Structure 1
Amino acid sequence: MGRDIAIETSHGLVDGWLAEPDGAPRGALVVVQEIFGVNEHMRSVTERFAASGYRALAPSLFDPVQADVELGYGEDGFARGRALAAQLGFDRALAIVAAAAERLRGDGLKVGVVGYCWGGSVAYLANTRLGLPAVSYYGARTVPFLQEPLRAPMLFHFGADDASTPPADVEAHRSAHPDAELYVYPGASHAFNRDVDPAHFHAESADLALKRTLAFFEAQLS
């Protein structure tokens, strides 16, 4: 079971949800939220990584703008989440990710980043700008940054039916970073890992993507 912690960052204290494995951790992960905040779903994702042997920390990235953000998946939540992400900006998001990674390194653990939706693009930038191994789930805002060189191993997951990442955008990722792992999941749309949202969840794709993600981090953080 996870717990709330405070993370010291260059933008003040930020809350985080920290989940610990039962035994000695095999590595550590910064889990980067969707635009809906560190809500029940993101806490469960963080705990799932802990159950797989990782110390996992999901920082509440919106705290410098608005504390305790937990949004629903309706139109109001979507609109508010987009506004908060724009107000925060990628630079502040990355500063918080960097602080969370530093917190996790305290016991000499290797650190990776995994992010979802908007957080998938933050995870990509954590690779290019912070040098952290990263996994991006359906990061639809990454295209403007594809000229940035990777500084660590990278894994991309995309849904084949995701209108926010059309085939041309997926191919742009593949062309820009041919050495990265990249998978496209037939039958999956955006947010296919969001198991609390039946309109988007695609169990087969989510299970396969998690297996590939865990294999990636096993290789990079062991």
Structure 2
Amino acid sequence: MTRPQITQAMIDAYDEYTHLTLDRRGFMEKLSKLAGSGAAAAVIAPMLAANSAQAAIVAEDDARVKAEDVTYAGGEGEMKGYLVTPADATGKLGAVIVIHENRGLNAHIRDVARRMALEGFVALAPDFLSPLGGTPADEEKAREMFQQLDAAKTAANGVATIAFLKGLDASNGKVGAVGFCWGGGTVNALAVASPDLAAGVAYYGRQANTDDVPKIEAALLLHYAGQDERINAGIEAYRKALEEDGKEFTIHIYDGAQHAFNNDTSEARYNKEAADLAWERSVAFFKEKLG
């Protein structure tokens, strides 16, 4: 079968569905019109979405890492997370919080945490849906649960996560955070909420309120997709506020890349060239700031 052509309008419709107001039925109706038929839309929809069956880059049982599910004190109540350390670690390491997209703590984000551990960090992927019982197996249900989260309580759970990592025996006390999509926005929010965050890397995430920029102490590395009109609308105001307040930050825009370009489980939106370059930059940034 010939690979169907995926247009920018289809990708935009998926973004509207996953982040804005379009429901599943409305998305499929819109996609059917764009694709020319319901049958074509049924083929294209899984290519736009993340594929949970996609093989991990670093396998769960990779002997190079030690991984475990953990619980720790959140801002209110208990937080769940996935903690990974290099198996051959000697001495104390910088720690990195790996913050999920608006699908919760799934197999892909656990994989990203293992990748970060292999770069020489203590990596913790928190489940920010913990206050609602944790990430469900149904990703559609998970997406709906994000609308129930309280922003202030989420920030408090992020602050508690920093405190947990600072106190680990394996940690050198320096904590950074990397987040994707919803997680990218959460990194910006965490930079505002906590002066203890040393470094933040936000992938195509919503910017912090410009009025809150003076509260930011962390160095920031901000990755954006060239084809991401919704998120990119806030770049210039954020850049201006960061510059005027003398903050340490770097912005990279990856021409031609789509929102979620780092997610290798999404066939239509993953961009290996952009993902590899952004990852290389992110790891170098963390090694500089958390070493």
Equivalent-residue separation in structure 1 for 2:249 and 2:136 (angstroms): 33
State whether residues 21 and 50 of structure 1, in contact with CA within 8 Å, keep that contact through their aligned partners in structure 2.
yes
- Tell me the TM-score normalized by structure 1: 0.89
Q: Does 1:91 align with 2:152?
A: yes
CA drift at 1:147: 2.2
SS in 1 for 2:97: strand
Q: Residues 70 and 109 from structure 1, CA distance in 2 versus in 1: closer, same or farther, beyond 3 angstroms?
A: farther
Gaps of 5+ in 2: 1-64
1:62-120 per-residue CA deviation (whole Å, 9 max, x = no partner) reads 11123233454xxxx2xx44432231122121222222211111234311111111111
SS in 2 for 1:113: strand
CA drift at 1:187: 1.4
Q: Which runs of 4+ in 1 moved over 4 A?
A: none
Equivalent-residue separation in structure 1 for 2:210 and 2:189 (angstroms): 10
State whether residues 159 and 193 of structure 2, in contact with CA within 8 Å, keep that contact through their aligned partners in structure 1.
no
Equivalent-residue separation in structure 1 for 2:235 and 2:267 (angstroms): 24
SS in 2 for 1:159: strand
Aligned residue identity for 2:210 = L
Name the Cα RMSD after superposition.
1.7
Select the residue among 83, 86, 103 that pairs with 2:164: 103
CA drift at 1:176: 1.8
Equivalent-residue separation in structure 2 for 1:17 and 1:218 (angstroms): 21
Select the residue among 151, 159, 180 that pairs with 1:116: 180
Aligned to 1:163: 229
Equivalent-residue separation in structure 2 for 1:169 and 1:81 (angstroms): 26
Aligned residue identity for 1:206 = A
Equivalent-residue separation in structure 2 for 1:129 and 1:10 (angstroms): 12
Q: Does 1:220 align with 2:289?
A: yes
Query: Identity percentage over the alignment?
Result: 34
Gaps of 5+ in 1: none
State whether residues 183 and 202 of structure 2, in contact with CA within 8 Å, keep that contact through their aligned partners in structure 1.
yes
State whether residues 185 and 202 of structure 2, in contact with CA within 8 Å, keep that contact through their aligned partners in structure 1.
yes
Segment drifting more, 22-31 vs 109-118: 22-31
Aligned to 2:237: 172
Segment drifting more, 44-53 vs 100-109: 100-109
Select the residue among 113, 119, 137 that pairs with 2:203: 137
Larger Rg: 2
Q: Does 1:57 align with 2:57?
A: no
CA drift at 1:30: 1.0
State whether residues 75 and 159 of structure 2, in contact with CA within 8 Å, keep that contact through their aligned partners in structure 1.
no
Equivalent-residue separation in structure 2 for 1:83 and 1:172 (angstroms): 29
1:31-70 alignment, distance < 5 Å = 31-70=98-137
CA drift at 1:146: 2.4
SS in 2 for 1:109: strand
